[in-house]
A and B are shown apart, each in its own frame.
Chain A
Amino acid sequence: DQQVKQNSPSLSVQEGRISILNCDYTNSMFDYFLWYKKYPAEGPTFLISISSIKDKNEDGRFTVFLNKSAKHLSLHIVPSQPGDSAVYFCAANQGGGADGLTFGKGTHLIIQP
């Protein structure tokens, strides 16, 4: 049973436009959420995170929004650049982080020139 769901396997966005990647979760005990970016043949790279006490966190072109009542979070990338083409994983954690992350299946973002 998937506790973190990314329902869009792929997303194509034009360069310069906004990319919005979505993630839903079912476990109400999750209190920390992270986005990772992954290029082929490399390990995932941490991108941005948000605690459940916040509803928004911003870092440069990347913003993560959290809607706890809907158990939904989204990653906004503005403006989208060719180097943003990668697989994006949503991940979640509960109660301190020591026992690892629960990942979604990922969304392959393709930035079109």
Chain B
Amino acid sequence: NAGVTQTPKFRILKIGQSMTLQCAQDMNHNYMYWYRQDPGMGLKLIYYSVGAGITDKGEVPNGYNVSRSTTEDFPLRLELAAPSQTSVYFCASSGNRVGQFFGPGTRLTVL
């Protein structure tokens, strides 16, 4: 099993550009999450999904959109990138409350 995979690993965007961060899991987990981690801070929840077709906002959803058309994939869309979105983005999945499995992260810089 690959677990949770994220692409790309790194990306530099110009202000106003858009991009999609990809996330896939092969563990057949219902729950998937997007977090961002700013330097010296903990992870903050952006969006989550409890199953295909169902998504909901987390603590910091502004500037982002998500979709969940399959159990495996949970892409995060950034529209009109801003410097405040410079961060490391982690995708995670969970089958139960024991713990979430995290991907390796995408480091995004907006200049």
A residues bordering B, Cβ < 8 Å?
Answer: 4, 6, 9, 32, 34, 36, 41-46, 49, 89, 91, 93, 96-106
In the complex, residue of chain A having the shortest beta-carbon distance to the beta carbon of B99: A46
A43 touches B48 (CB 8 A): no
Q: Please report which residues of chain B, range 14-56, place their CB below 8 angstroms from some CB of chain A when the two chains form the complex.
A: 31, 33, 35, 40-45, 48, 50, 56
Q: Among the interface residues B40, B58, B102, which one has the most CB atoms of the partner chain A within 10 A?
A: B102
Given B45, B50, B56, B103, which contacts A101 in the complex, CB threshold below 8 Å? B45
A56 CB, min distance to chain B CBs, angstroms: 17
Indicate whether B105 reaches chain A with its CB closer than 8 angstroms.
yes
Instruction: Summarize B's interface: helix, strand, loop or mixed.
Output: strand
Given B41, B48, B92, B99, which contacts A99 in the complex, CB threshold below 8 Å? B48
| A91 contacts across to B, CB distance below 8 A | 42
B residues bordering A, Cβ < 8 Å?
Answer: 4, 31, 33, 35, 40-45, 48, 50, 56, 58, 90, 92, 94, 96-105
A103 touches B97 (CB 8 A): no
B92 CB, min distance to chain A CBs, angstroms: 8
Cα distance, A84 to B31, chains bound together (Å): 29
| B35 contacts across to A, CB distance below 8 A | 100, 103
| A4 contacts across to B, CB distance below 8 A | 42
Cα distance, A70 to B48, chains bound together (Å): 30
Q: Among the interface residues B35, B42, B97, which one has the most CB atoms of the partner chain A within 10 A?
A: B42
Cα distance, A101 to B97, chains bound together (Å): 10
